[in-house]
Amino acid sequence: MPRLPEFDREEVLDNALSLFWSDGYEASSISKLLRAMNLNRGSLYSAFGSKALLFSTVLDHYMAYLQCHLFNCTLVSVEDPCEAITSFFDKAFFEPDQSQLANGCLFFNAISELSNNEPELAGKARESVHWIRQLFYTRLLEAKQLGKVDSGQDIEGLADYLIALVAGLRTLCKSGANTAVLRRVIDAGLSTVFIR
């Protein structure tokens, strides 16, 4: 009977997430991962199978974290759809510390880095972004039905626009933009979506 891994899985995944997020997939070598996760090679391969499978698990771990700490308390649970979307941007860009924001978004990073060399992993990240887009779409549709979005607006296009806004803001964070810049961009971006 094989021995069960003797480590805190959440902690190990947090450590792997930190490395992949800061260094990217390719630059996160197995030796770097072993140091960051405080595992030996056998434990890593026994628990996760391969670097690609570990990264896939980390993407799930990241999504679970975002669902709990970002999406559920903004886009899912805030009753007013405009406030839900506004609170999402506020929480996503003004609550994390600046060093975390400087890493960008793991999903967008993975799509950029891995689309050519690891298309399955990039595809998994793309599915997560699509899921977020669907949350935006649902709340925008509600806002339109409440008269808070112009009746002539294309909700599909607005959902894509909000995803593009998130991606652009994450890129600004990576380039060192301060919170005043982020606030101006968010306010300008949302002012084109909602009727005030």
pLDDT at residue number 22: 93
pLDDT at residue number 1: 42
pLDDT at residue number 101: 86
Residue pair 166/90 in contact by the 8 Å Cβ criterion: no
Is residue 38, in this structure, part of any structural domain at all?
no
Is residue 147, in this structure, part of any structural domain at all?
yes
Q: Fill in the DSSP letter of residue 4.
A: P
As for how many domains the chain has, the answer is 1
pLDDT at residue number 5: 54
Residue pair 33/12 in contact by the 8 Å Cβ criterion: no
- Average pLDDT for runs of 10 along the chain of length 196: 67 96 96 95 93 97 96 97 98 86 93 96 98 98 96 96 97 93 97 91
- CATH code for the domain of 181: 1.10.357.10
Percentage helix, strand, coil for the chain under 3-state DSSP, each rounded to 5: 75, 0, 25
- Which structural domain, as residue segments, surrounds residue 145? 59-191
Is residue 132, in this structure, part of any structural domain at all?
yes
Is residue 180, in this structure, part of any structural domain at all?
yes
Give the global pTM. 0.91
DSSP-derived 3-state class of residue 189: helix
Is residue 34, in this structure, part of any structural domain at all?
no
Four-residue CA torsion sign, 173, 175, 181, 187:
negative
Is residue 116, in this structure, part of any structural domain at all?
yes
Is residue 30, in this structure, part of any structural domain at all?
no
